């Protein structure tokens, strides 16, 4: 009973936060509610017993992605832009139809998929040790590829953010005394 | 002295037995929560006054010594002061976010206390991925810093919050990297298992704590450095003493909300100190086999107090670093040193299977030091801009 | 090497911490109000009037010459002369003040009144806990509150007061010697019919 209660509470939190992230006026509020939705999802992972995934969700999404979104909003002055007074567009019927279509096209394969009915293999727990073994034996290629991708992204961001080096001029050491006759030789 | 060792566990068991059968699980949880809040709340109160007294002594003056015996009731006076202060919220501030920021800071940190093993069988929640959950909780409190800074609608608060977040993010990397060797050698992320992996005594008297290995010493140093930065303590303190940017993200907070920020900061410090004790200092284990009759929670508390004393000592001794100096220090010194530390730990572990003479004669220590020490010296010399060569003045004679 | 400075700083603060429990020079705080620092010779706050002996009215050195009232840059002294005269320390009859008020909310502690007083009767005091709940009347100090004994003056400004006391003792002995010589001269000659000079002191 406690299990169900906690699931409903966490699901309500996640859904409410996601809805708020869509509908609030201030962009920063939307970003914070998105972080709340991530936290709700992490709670659901914990409730299902997937501690590693839940911890990773909090660490990556709430701790890094939410802050990234907020920085992006602040640095591109999106926070100053107020949403227009009409928050709901006039073509809401078409929007509802499209969203029902998308929901159906996602929900039907999920409910029909065999993996929902498959039971977890007996005797194998989702402990961190097993996850580690799986990552390093079965999924090592995606792991290394992800590492390469992240390194490339890091290097790329450093390159983009690095300031332009000024044109190279011979820098004078302030401690050595000036010798005008030498300076004419180096500065033609 | 097994009864004394398990006194809290037995007390909890007895109290839970008094509850009706359906509510036993809930009662157990509530008891643990109440116990943690009582212990760490009073620890917070005691720490504030002891820190002020210790800092005063280091600065050739008395600390607070008027309220109560030796000034020990000072936290009560502070609490009354904070509670009766008017709660001023700026007119253009975002009220909801302004209100929620101290809560978002303080609440996750209470979660972190549930993971720490305070004694034998005294872990509230024994998670399999304990270390990772701990760091996840720590990273969630950065959002609170931003919320505080942005909601005040004050450019100083916003800049202060951005600087605080930049610092906290930068120091998360060496924090986690310094823990990787511990996890590697213990083979588990669970805090209980890490404590168990440090059990036993080499040569009959030397404890097998992680701090008594070359990588463990450096790891503890890195961890404590990153921990002072993560909890915004001097010499890395942003809002606590930021006279150059007013009070940073705490500018627009007064009264009880300020007290909550303060509480959250100190609780974060306690949580990270508890983690340092668990990961590097052997948790609740006694340092010598003939001292093991003292209860396990006593050893945890003693080591905890020793680390808190180190934090207070460092605060009293070192000046504040500038923000760019701090970030340089983290990325250019701590991160490479942490990576080299991982290498040294790996060699330490593997060299156990090498030639037994090599393993036993302390040569593993020499190997570890030979890897770490030159790296430390070289990094300190060439990469760290804090090191300034002695200037020679040609004209000033 | 990086870290050496940090270790040195830690050692120094550690020594401060440990030394503050055993040595007094590592803990230099004087806990007011239980303990006070010794007064400095040249410290000053507001003026006070000196009286010799035990009686603050009879022994008051002030002769109401009003020089201090005129020289005070803040005009905070108010003097009203009394009609009765009293003898001073050499026996000469002097005026005395009926009213001597100093408004210490105005007084700036410059000490000019002390410098110009010819009778060393007004000196600078050391008291600093002069708070009052009334902004005006309570900060106007009268003669009774301002008069303090020479013994107190010796206590707070020992060097200056010993110099003044030595000077006054010298003057007094000279005046007594002169009076004794005058008395001896009058007993030698027939007593004059002219009015006597001011009566010999004790």
Give the tokens for residue B238.
Answer: 């942003």
The C-alpha of B28 sits at a distance from chain A's nearest C-alpha, in angstroms, of 14
Q: What CA dihedral angle connects C164, C169, C170 and C171, to 10 degrees?
A: 90
B231 with B346, same domain: the answer is: yes
Whether residues B77 and B159 share a domain: the answer is no
Burial C98-111 (b: 16+ CB within 10 A, else e): eebbbebeebeeee
Within-domain flag for B390: no
Is B389 within the bounds of a domain? no
Question: How do residues A68-124 score in pLDDT, each as one tens digit?
Answer: 898 888 877 755 656 555 566 778 889 899 999 999 999 999 888 887 777 767 667
Stretch B130-136: mean pLDDT, rounded?
Answer: 91
On whether both B63 and B186 belong to a single domain, the answer is: no
Kindly state whether C33 is in contact with chain B, defined as any CB-CB distance less than 8 angstroms: no
Is residue A27's pLDDT more than 80? yes
Q: Which CATH number does the domain housing residue A9 bear?
A: 1.20.120.1200
Tell me how far apart the alpha carbons of residues C118 and B315 are, in angstroms, rounded to a whole number. 59
The confidence score (pLDDT) of residue C160 equals 93
- Interface predicted TM-score (ipTM) of this complex, two decimals: 0.82
Residue B161 near residue B248, CB atoms below 8 Å: yes
For residues B144 and B247, state if they share a domain: yes
Alpha carbons C128 and B360: distance in angstroms, whole number = 73
Residue B393 lies in a domain: no
> What's the average model confidence in pLDDT over B382-395?
62
- Whether residue B84 contacts residue B112, with contact meaning beta carbons closer than 8 Å, is answered with no
Asked if residue B90 and residue B79 are part of one domain, the reply reads no
Phi, psi at C99, each rounded to 5°: -130, 130
Q: How many domains does chain B have?
A: 2
CB A55 within 8 A of CB B133: yes
Give the pLDDT of residue C199.
46
User: Considering its fold, how many domains does chain A have in total?
Assistant: 2
Q: What is the dihedral of CA C26, C28, C29, C32, to 10 degrees?
A: 150
pLDDT tens profile B312-335? 999 989 888 878 888 888 988 999
Examine the domain organization and report whether B78 and B226 are in the same domain: no
Q: How many CB atoms lie within 10 A of CB B212?
A: 17
Q: Say how far apart CA C184 and CA A15 lie, in whole Å.
A: 120
pLDDT of amino acid C202: 43
Q: Do B60 and C1 touch (CB under 8 A)?
A: no
Domain-embedded: residue A13: yes
What pLDDT, on a 0 to 100 scale, did the predictor assign at position A106? 93
Q: What is the mean pLDDT of residues B269-288?
A: 92
Q: Which domain holds residue B1?
A: 1-84
Tell me the C-alpha distance between B267 and B244, whole Å: 26
SS3 label, residue C199: coil
Long-range contacts of B228-232, Cβ-Cβ distance < 8 Å, separation of 24 or more: B228/B311, B228/B314, B229/B167, B229/B168, B229/B170, B229/B171, B229/B326, B229/B330, B230/B138, B230/B168, B230/B171, B230/B172, B230/B175, B230/B268, B230/B272, B231/B265, B231/B266, B231/B268, B231/B269, B231/B272, B232/B164, B232/B167, B232/B168, B232/B265
Is pLDDT at A166 greater than 60 in this prediction? no
In a domain, A115, yes or no: no
The C-alpha of B140 sits at a distance from chain A's nearest C-alpha, in angstroms, of 5
* Residues recorded for chain B: 397
Q: What is the mean pLDDT of chain C?
A: 87
The share of chain C scoring above pLDDT 70, in percent, equals: 93
Q: How confident is the model at residue C26 (pLDDT cuts 50, 70, 90)?
A: confident
Domain boundary among the residues B84, B119, B147 is at B84
**Confidence grade of residue B244 (pLDDT, cut at 50, 70, 90):** low
Distance CA C153, CA C165 (A): 10
Instruction: Report the chain A residue with the minimal C-alpha distance to residue B100.
Output: A32
B318 shares contact with chain C (CB less than 8 Å): yes
Instruction: Compute the distance between CA of residue B340 and CA of residue B180 in angstroms, rounded to an integer.
Output: 11
| DSSP 3-state of C86 | strand
Query: With 60 as the cut, is the pLDDT of residue C201 above it?
Result: no
> Mind telling me how many Å the CA of B344 is from chain C's nearest CA?
20
Predicted TM-score (pTM) of this structure: 0.83
Q: What is the 3-state composition of chain B as percent helix, strand, coil, each rounded to the nearest 5? A: 70, 0, 30
Boundary-marking domain end, from A79, A109, A138: A79
| Set of chain B residues whose Cβ sits within 8 Å of the Cβ of C32 | none
* pLDDT band at residue B135 using 50, 70 and 90 as cut-offs: very high
pLDDT category at C186 given cuts 50, 70, 90 is confident
Pick the residue from chain A with its C-alpha nearest to B141: A63
For residue C3, whether the previous peptide bond is cis, meaning omega lies within 30 degrees of 0, is no
The answer to whether residue B10 sits within a structural domain is: yes
Is residue A73 a part of any domain in this protein?
A: yes
The per-residue pLDDT for B145 is 87
Point out the residue among B26, B142, B392 whose CB comes nearest to the CB of A67: B142
Q: Answer yes or no: do B92 and B49 share one domain.
A: no
B207 three-class SS: strand
Domain limits for position A67: 1-79
Give me the residue from C1, C17, C29 closest to B58, CB to CB: C17
pLDDT number for residue C44? 93
pLDDT band at C169 (very low <50, low <70, confident <90, very high): very high
Residue C4 touches chain B, beta carbons under 8 Å: no
To the nearest whole angstrom, how far is the Cα of B391 from the nearest Cα of chain A?
8
Write the pLDDT tens digit of every residue in C96-127.
Answer: 899 999 999 999 999 999 999 999 999 999 99
Question: If you average pLDDT over every residue of chain B, what do you get?
Answer: 86
Interchain CB distance below 8 Å, B187 and A129? yes
Inside any domain, residue A49:
yes
Q: C163 in contact with B at a CB cutoff of 8 Å? A: no
Query: Which stretches of chain A are DSSP H helices?
Result: 2-23, 27-47, 51-57, 66-75, 92-112, 128-137, 140-161, 180-186
Query: How far out from the chain centre does Cα B155 lie?
Result: 30
Nearest CA in chain C to B316: C13
Kindly report, residue by residue over B345-385, the tens digit of the pLDDT. 999 888 887 777 666 657 888 888 999 999 998 888 876 55
For residues B291 and B217, membership in a common domain is answered with yes
What is the percent of chain C with per-residue pLDDT over 90, rounded to a whole number? 53
Instruction: Report if residue A137 sits inside a domain.
Output: yes
Query: pLDDT per residue over C43-91, tens digit each?
Result: 999 999 999 888 888 889 999 999 999 999 999 999 999 888 888 888 7
Q: Which of A87, A74, A40, A26 is nearest to B96 (CA)?
A: A26
Question: Who has greater pLDDT, A168 or A129?
Answer: A129
Closest C-alpha to C60, from C116, C109, C123, C102: C123
Which phi-psi region, left, alpha or beta, contains residue B163 (left: φ > 0; alpha: ψ -120 to 50)? alpha
Residues B18 and B134 in one domain: no
Q: Are residues B294 and B338 located together in one domain of the fold? A: yes
Q: Where are the beta strands (DSSP E) in chain C?
A: 47-51, 77-81, 86-87, 93-94, 97-103, 122-124, 140-141, 147-149
Of C1, C21, C28, the CB nearest to B377: C1
Calpha distance B351→A4 (Å, rounded): 50
Residue-wise pLDDT for B97-108, tens only, equals: 999 999 999 988
Domain boundary, last residue among B21, B55, B84: B84
In this structure, the answer to whether residues B257 and B276 fall within a common structural domain is: yes
Q: Which residue has the tokens 């907020």?
A: A70
Arithmetic mean of pLDDT over chain A: 82
pLDDT tens digits for range A121-150:
766 777 888 888 888 888 899 999 999 999
Q: How far apart (Å, rounded) are the C-alpha atoms in residues A33 and A37? A: 6
What's the gap in Å between the CA of C130 and the closest CA on chain B? 24
- Whether A100 maps to a domain, the answer reads no
- Whether residues A75 and A1 share a domain: the answer is yes
Highest mean pLDDT among A29-33, B151-155, C38-42: A29-33
In a domain, B74, yes or no: yes
B294 plus B320 within the same structural domain: yes
Among A26, A62, A129, whose Cβ lies nearest the Cβ of B139? A62
- Residue among B140, B150, B187 whose CB faces A62 most closely: B140
Window 52-111 of B, Cβ < 8 Å to A = 94, 97
Domain boundary among B43, B61, B84: B84
Residue B30 forms part of a structural domain = yes
Q: Shortest CA distance to A32 belongs to which of A76, A75, A2, A62?
A: A62
Select the residue of A52, A70, A175 nearest B391 (Cβ to Cβ): A175
- Cβ-based neighbours of B169, under 8 Å, separated by 6 or more: A64, A67, B142
Look at C2 and B380 and tell me if their CB atoms are within 8 Å: yes
Chains A and C touch (3+ CB pairs under 8 A): no
The reply to whether residue C29 touches residue B62, judged by beta carbons under 8 angstroms, is: yes
pLDDT for the residue numbered A172 = 54
d(CA B176, CA B188): 15
Residues 54-73 of chain B with CB under 8 A from chain C are 54, 57-62
Contact B189 A128 (CB under 8 A): yes
Chain A 46-85, CB below 8 Å of chain B: which residues? Answer: 51-52, 54-59, 62-64, 66-67, 70, 74
């Amino acid at each position: 009973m406690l299990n169900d209660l906690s699931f409903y509470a966490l699901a309500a939190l996640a859904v409410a936060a996601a809805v708020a992230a869509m509908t609030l006026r201030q962009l920063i509020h939307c970003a914070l509610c998105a972080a709340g939705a991530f936290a709700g999802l992490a709670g659901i992972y914990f409730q299902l017993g997937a501690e590693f995934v839940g911890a990773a969700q909090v660490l990556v999404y709430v701790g890094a992605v939410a802050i990234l979104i907020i920085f992006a909003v602040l640095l591109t002055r999106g926070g100053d832009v107020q949403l227009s007074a009409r928050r709901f567009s006039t073509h809401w019927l078409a929007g509802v139809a499209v969203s029902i279509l998308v929901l159906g096209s996602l929900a039907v394969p999920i409910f029909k998929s065999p993996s929902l009915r498959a039971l977890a293999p007996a005797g194998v727990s989702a402990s961190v040790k097993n996850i580690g073994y799986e990552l390093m034996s079965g999924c090592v290629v995606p792991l290394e590829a992800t590492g390469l991708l992240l390194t490339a992204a890091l290097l790329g961001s450093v390159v983009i953010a690095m300031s332009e080096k000024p044109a190279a001029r011979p820098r004078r050491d302030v401690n050595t005394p000036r010798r005008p006759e030498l300076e004419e030789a180096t500065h033609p | 002295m097994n009864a004394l060792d398990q006194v809290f566990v037995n007390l909890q068991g007895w109290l839970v037995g008094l509850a009706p059968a359906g509510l036993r699980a809930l009662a157990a949880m509530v008891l643990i929560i109440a116990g943690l809040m009582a212990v760490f709340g009073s620890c917070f109160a005691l720490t504030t006054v002891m820190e002020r007294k210790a800092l005063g002594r280091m600065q050739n003056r008395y600390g607070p010594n008027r309220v109560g015996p030796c000034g020990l009731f000072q936290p009560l006076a502070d609490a009354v002061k904070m509670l009766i202060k008017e709660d001023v919220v700026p007119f253009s501030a975002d009220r909801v976010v302004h209100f929620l920021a101290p809560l978002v800071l303080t609440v996750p940190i209470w979660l972190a206390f549930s993971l720490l093993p305070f004694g034998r069988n005294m872990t509230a929640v024994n998670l399999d991925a304990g270390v990772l959950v701990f760091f996840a909780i720590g990273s969630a409190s950065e959002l609170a810093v931003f919320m505080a800074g942005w909601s005040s609608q004050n450019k100083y608060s916003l800049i202060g919050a951005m600087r605080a977040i930049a610092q906290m993010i930068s120091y998360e990397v060496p924090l986690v990297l310094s823990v990787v060797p511990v996890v590697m050698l213990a083979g588990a992320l669970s805090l209980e298992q890490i404590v168990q992996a440090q059990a036993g005594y080499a040569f009959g008297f030397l404890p097998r704590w992680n701090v008594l290995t070359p990588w463990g010493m450096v790891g503890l140093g890195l961890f404590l450095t990153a921990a002072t930065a993560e909890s915004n303590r001097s010499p890395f303190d942003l809002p606590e003493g930021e006279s150059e940017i007013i009070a940073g993200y705490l500018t627009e907070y007064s009264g009880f909300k300020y007290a909550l920020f303060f509480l959250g900061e100190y609780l974060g410090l306690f949580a990270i100190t508890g983690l340092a004790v668990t990961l590097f200092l052997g948790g609740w284990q006694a340092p010598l086999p003939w001292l093991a009759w003292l209860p396990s929670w006593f050893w945890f508390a003693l080591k905890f107090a020793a680390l808190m004393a180190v934090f207070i000592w460092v605060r009293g001794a070192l000046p504040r670093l500038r923000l760019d100096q701090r970030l340089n220090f983290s990325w250019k010194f701590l991160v490479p040193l942490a990576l080299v530390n991982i290498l040294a730990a790996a060699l330490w572990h593997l060299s156990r299977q090498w030639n037994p003479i090599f393993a036993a004669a302390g040569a593993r220590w020499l190997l570890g030091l030979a890897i770490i020490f030159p790296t430390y010296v070289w990094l300190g010399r060439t990469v760290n801009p804090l090191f300034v060569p002695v200037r020679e003045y040609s004209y000033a004679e | 090497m990086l870290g050496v400075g940090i270790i040195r700083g830690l050692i120094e603060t550690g020594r401060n911490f440990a030394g503050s429990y055993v040595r007094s020079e590592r803990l230099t705080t004087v806990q007011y109000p239980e303990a006070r620092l010794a007064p400095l010779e040249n410290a000053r706050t507001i003026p006070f009037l000196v009286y010799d002996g035990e009686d603050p009215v009879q022994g008051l050195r002030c002769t109401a010459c009003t020089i201090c009232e005129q020289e005070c840059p803040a005009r905070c002294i108010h003097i009203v002369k009394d009609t009765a005269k009293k003898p001073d320390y050499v026996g000469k009859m002097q005026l005395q003040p009926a009213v001597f008020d100093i408004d210490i909310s105005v007084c700036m502690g410059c000490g000019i009144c002390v410098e110009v007083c010819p009778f060393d009767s007004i000196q600078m005091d050391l008291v600093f806990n002069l708070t009052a709940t009334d902004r005006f009347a309570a900060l106007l100090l009268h003669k009774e509150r301002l008069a303090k004994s020479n013994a107190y003056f010796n206590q707070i400004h020992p060097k200056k007061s010993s110099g003044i006391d030595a000077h006054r003792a010298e003057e007094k002995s000279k005046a007594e010697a002169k009076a004794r010589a005058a008395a001896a001269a009058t007993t030698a000659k027939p007593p004059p019919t002219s009015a006597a000079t001011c009566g010999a002191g004790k």
